[in-house]
């Protein structure tokens, strides 16, 4: 009996020692796993912080690029009118009425530049656009006036096919002017190197269904240069050398904020077509 008890005790002690070793090893593995989990959570938090910082930098870059891109247009008109005023003053006698007209144009474009900055800031902060009733054909006329000097310099012939009796749309006039001006200038840029055919820019307005007003801008330039037309609306994507790739991205955001859509397609045999659809609306 004593021998049996001794063997049983030794066996129990051996089992206890083995179990203790197992528990010790398990504890060590749990400690290592806990340390790895803590390290992983720390790395995750660091990554999230870096991603948040990258997002802030991307937003800042988009805002900066948007302002730089959009503000160049009225600034170019300011410079052109300032130089014109100087030329009128050099005449003998000075052409004072023409000088006054040029100065008024400078003031108008400077005010428009300030309004563009305000609209871009509201766009980035997702503020509600300033609403007003807008006649689409009038909007086209205003934009062609802004772009007239640049189009003439590049010998671009403009053709307008504007539908009559279009219903008004409701939106922010300055923002929609910038969208259409951006599209027109892009079309002009696309035809800058064309030498084997006439440089033609066509703007059409029409009703699409019962509730949508369409603006279609087509050119005979180099085309979209991509198999996926939607890529041109991605931020920082550009087919132009030195282009920032921000203009059409902002344009799409503006149009979507107005409840509309913008798309691009190839034009045969040359060029591209951009189509803007906006809902009709009555301003109260």
- The residues near 169 (Cβ < 8 Å, ≥ 6 apart) are 133, 134, 136, 213, 258, 278, 279, 280, 281
Higher pLDDT, 239 or 228: 228
Q: Assign 244 a pLDDT band (cuts: 50, 70, 90).
A: very low
Please tell me the predicted confidence (pLDDT) of residue 46: 73
DSSP 210: T
As given in the structure block, the two tokens for residue 284 are 């109260």
Q: Report the Cα 205 to chain-centroid distance in Å.
A: 23
CA distance 99 to 185: 27
**Pair 251, 182: CB distance under 8 Å:** yes
SS3 84: helix
- The residues near 251 (Cβ < 8 Å, ≥ 6 apart) are 178, 179, 182, 183, 233, 262
Residue-wise pLDDT for 64-121, tens only, equals 665 666 677 777 778 888 888 888 888 888 888 888 888 888 888 787 777 767 666 6
The domain locations on the chain are 67-124, 132-279
Residue-wise pLDDT for 144-176, tens only, equals 887 887 788 889 999 999 998 899 999 988 888
Q: Report the Cα 283 to chain-centroid distance in Å.
A: 27
Specify burial of residue 198 (Cβ count, 10 A radius: 0-12, 13-18, 19+).
exposed
Q: Assign 138 a pLDDT band (cuts: 50, 70, 90).
A: very high
CA distance 156 to 9: 104
Q: Assign 63 a pLDDT band (cuts: 50, 70, 90).
A: low
My answer on whether omega of the bond before 269 falls inside 30° of 0, hence cis, is yes
CATH topology of domain 132-279: Heat Shock Protein 90 (3.30.565)
């Amino acid at each position: 009996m004593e021998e049996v008890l001794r063997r049983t005790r030794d066996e129990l002690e051996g089992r206890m020692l083995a179990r203790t070793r197992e528990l010790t090893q398990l504890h060590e593995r749990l400690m290592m796993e806990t340390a790895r989990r803590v390290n992983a959570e720390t790395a995750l938090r660091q990554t999230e912080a870096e991603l948040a910082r990258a997002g802030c930098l991307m937003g800042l870059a988009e805002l900066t690029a948007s302002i730089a891109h959009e503000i160049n247009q009225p600034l170019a008109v300011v410079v052109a009118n300032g130089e014109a005023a100087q030329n009128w003053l050099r005449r003998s006698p000075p052409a004072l009425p023409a000088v006054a007209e040029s100065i008024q144009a400078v003031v108008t474009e400077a005010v428009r530049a300030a309004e563009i900055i305000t609209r871009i800031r509201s766009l980035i902060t997702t503020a509600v656009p300033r609403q007003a009733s807008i006649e689409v054909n009038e909007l086209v006329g205003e934009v062609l006036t802004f772009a007239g000097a640049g189009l003439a310099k590049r010998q671009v012939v403009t053709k307008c096919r504007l539908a009559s009796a279009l219903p008004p749309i409701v939106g922010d006039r300055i923002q929609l002017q910038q969208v259409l001006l951006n599209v027109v200038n892009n079309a002009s840029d696309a035809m800058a190197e064309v030498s084997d055919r006439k440089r033609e820019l066509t703007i059409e307005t029409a009703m699409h269904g019962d509730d949508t007003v369409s603006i279609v801008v087509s050119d005979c330039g180099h085309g979209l240069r991509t198999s996926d037309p939607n890529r041109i609306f991605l931020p920082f994507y550009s087919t132009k050398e030195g282009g920032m790739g921000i203009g059409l991205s902002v344009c799409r955001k503006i149009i979507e904020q107005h409840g509309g859509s913008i798309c691009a397609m190839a034009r045969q045999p040359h060029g591209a077509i951009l189509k803007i659809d906006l809902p009709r609306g009555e301003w109260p």
